[in-house]
Amino acid sequence: MAANDPVQDRYNPPAVTHTDFESSSFNDLNVDELFWLQNERTTHNVAFRKINEHQGLNTITRQIHNFSNKIMVYQKL
């Protein structure tokens, strides 16, 4: 018998081991796009949302941060 049990997979899916990130400059992002400051999955790497040409909103703390247009940021693929 096969080791794959569809009923069990439905409630206990396999863990995601990694997420691919794509790098770009802050200036290349469109307003309202999500971005990260690091290309790794950690609890300290929170998502930001670009709100205008120079600022991003921390999605956890809701604080607005200023960013240089040339800073490298990461987006999930």
Distance in Å from the first CA to the final CA of the chain: 36
In this predicted structure, what is the pLDDT of residue 42? 86
- 3-class DSSP assignment, residue 13: coil
Alpha-carbon distance 57 to 47, whole Å?
9
> CB burial class (10 A; 0-12, 13-18, 19+) of residue 48?
buried
> Using an 8 Å Cβ cutoff, are 55 and 71 in contact?
no
Residue-level pLDDT at 20: 86
The predicted pLDDT at position 6 comes to 65
The whole-number pLDDT of residue 77 equals: 84
Averaged over successive runs of 10 residues, the pLDDT of the chain (77 residues) comes to: 64 65 96 95 93 97 97 94
